[in-house]
Amino acid sequence: MEQEQKRDQKTVDPAAQAAIDIACELGCELVWDRLKAQKTQCAFGLQGLCCRHCAMGPCRIDPKGKGAQTGICGATAETIAARHFVRMIAAGTAAHSDHGRAVAETFIAAAKGEAPGYGIKDEMKLLRLAMDLGVEIGERSIRDIAVDVGERLLADFGSQHGPLAFVKRAPLKRRQLWKELGMTPRGIDREVAEALHRTTMGVDQQIENLMIHGSRCALADGWGGSMIATELQDTMFGTPVPLLGRVNLGNLAKEEVNIIIHGHEPLLAEAIVLVSREKGILDYAKSKGARGVNLTGICCTANEVLMRHGIAVAGNFLHQELALVTGAVEAMVLDVQCTMQSLAKVASCFHTKLITTNERAMIPGATHIQFHETDAVESAGKIVRAAIDNFPNRKGSPNIPAFSTDMVAGFSVETIGYMLGGSFRAGFRPLNDNIINGRIRGVAGVVGCNTPKLTQDQYHLDMVKHLIKNGVLVLTTGCAAMAFAKEGLLLPEAAAKFCSPGLAEVCETVGIPPVLHLGACVDNSRILMAATAVVKEGGLGDDLSDLPAAGAAPEWMSEKAIAIGQYFVASGVFVVFGGSFPTLGSKEFSDLLMKKYREITGGYWAFEPDAIKAADLMIAHIDERRRALGLDKKKERVLYDMEMRRQLAT
Ligand code: SF4
Ligand code: MSK
pLDDT per residue over 342-359, tens digit each? 999 999 999 999 999 999
Nearest to 227 by CA among 436, 460, 413: 413
The pLDDT value given to residue 427:
84
Angle ∠(463,252,290) on CA atoms, nearest 5? 170
Count CB-CB contacts under 10 A for residue 106. Answer: 24
Ligand 1 centroid–CA 59 distance in Å is: 6
Which of the 8 DSSP states describes residue 366? S
State pLDDT tens for residues 121-159.
999 999 999 999 999 999 999 999 999 999 999 999 999
Task: In whole angstroms, give the CA distance from residue 152 to residue 99.
Answer: 17
Ligand 1 centroid–CA 553 distance in Å is: 30
The pLDDT value given to residue 5:
46
The pLDDT value given to residue 423:
62
The pLDDT value given to residue 632:
86
Nearest to 456 by CA among 5, 3, 7: 7
592-597 CB contacts, 8 Å cutoff, 24+ apart: 592/82, 592/207, 592/208, 592/211, 593/85, 593/211, 593/569, 597/211, 597/569
The pLDDT value given to residue 644:
63
At 13 the three-state DSSP class reads coil
Q: How does residue 633 score in pLDDT terms, banded at 50, 70 and 90? A: confident
One-letter amino acid at 368 equals H
Contact 596, 569 (CB under 8 A): no
3-state DSSP of 147-180:
HHHHHHHHHHHHCCCCCCHHHHHCCHHHHHHHHH
Beta strands per DSSP E along 213-281:
243-247, 257-263
| Parallel, antiparallel or unpaired: strands 50-51 and 59-60 | antiparallel
Q: Is the CB of 76 under 6 A from ligand 1?
A: no
The pLDDT value given to residue 625:
98
Return the residue whose CA atom lies nearest to atom 2 of ligand 1.
73
Task: In whole angstroms, give the CA distance from residue 356 to residue 262.
Answer: 10
Report CA 422 to chain centroid distance, whole Å.
27
| Parallel, antiparallel or unpaired: strands 367-368 and 312-315 | unpaired
Q: What is the mean pLDDT of residues 581-594?
A: 98
Nearest to 602 by CA among 226, 170, 194, 227: 170
Contact 118, 376 (CB under 8 A): yes
Report the percent of the chain where pLDDT is more than 90.
Answer: 93
Q: How does residue 638 score in pLDDT terms, banded at 50, 70 and 90? A: low
Q: How does residue 646 score in pLDDT terms, banded at 50, 70 and 90? A: low
Count CB-CB contacts under 10 A for residue 177. Answer: 21
State pLDDT tens for residues 369-427.
999 999 999 999 999 999 999 999 998 899 999 999 999 999 999 999 888 876 667 78
The yes-or-no verdict on residue 649 having pLDDT over 80 is no
Return the residue whose CA atom lies nearest to atom 8 of ligand 2.
338
pTM of the model: 0.96
Beta partners for 245? 407
The pLDDT value given to residue 648:
54
Q: How does residue 3 score in pLDDT terms, banded at 50, 70 and 90? A: very low
At 340 the three-state DSSP class reads coil
Q: How does residue 97 score in pLDDT terms, banded at 50, 70 and 90? A: very high
Ligand 1 centroid–CA 566 distance in Å is: 25
| Parallel, antiparallel or unpaired: strands 367-368 and 472-477 | unpaired
The strands making up 574-577's β-sheet, listed across from edge to edge, are: 515-519, 472-477, 442-446, 549-553, 574-577, 604-607
Q: What is the mean pLDDT of residues 621-645?
A: 78
Q: How does residue 2 score in pLDDT terms, banded at 50, 70 and 90? A: very low
Q: Is the CB of 448 under 6 A from ligand 2?
A: yes
Nearest ligand, measured from the Cα of 58: 1
Q: Is the CB of 73 under 6 A from ligand 1?
A: yes
The pLDDT value given to residue 634:
60
Q: What is the mean pLDDT of residues 531-547?
A: 97
The yes-or-no verdict on residue 260 having pLDDT over 70 is yes
Q: How does residue 1 score in pLDDT terms, banded at 50, 70 and 90? A: very low
Cα Dmax for the chain: 87
Q: What is the mean pLDDT of residues 199-223?
A: 98
Task: In whole angstroms, give the CA distance from residue 327 to residue 340.
Answer: 18
Q: What is the mean pLDDT of residues 543-562?
A: 98
Ligand 1 centroid–CA 51 distance in Å is: 6
Task: In whole angstroms, give the CA distance from residue 468 to residue 225.
Answer: 31
Nearest ligand, measured from the Cα of 558: 2
Ligand 1 centroid–CA 78 distance in Å is: 13
Nearest to 534 by CA among 523, 543, 522: 543
From the number of C-beta atoms within 10 Å of its C-beta (0-12, 13-18, 19+), residue 494 rates as buried
DSSP-assigned states of every residue in 36-88:
HHT-SPPHHHHTT-EE-SSTT--EE--TTSSS-SB-TT--BHHHHHHHHHHHH
Task: In whole angstroms, give the CA distance from residue 187 to residue 195.
Answer: 12
Q: Is the CB of 79 under 6 A from ligand 1?
A: no
The pLDDT value given to residue 650:
47
Q: What is the mean pLDDT of the chain?
A: 95
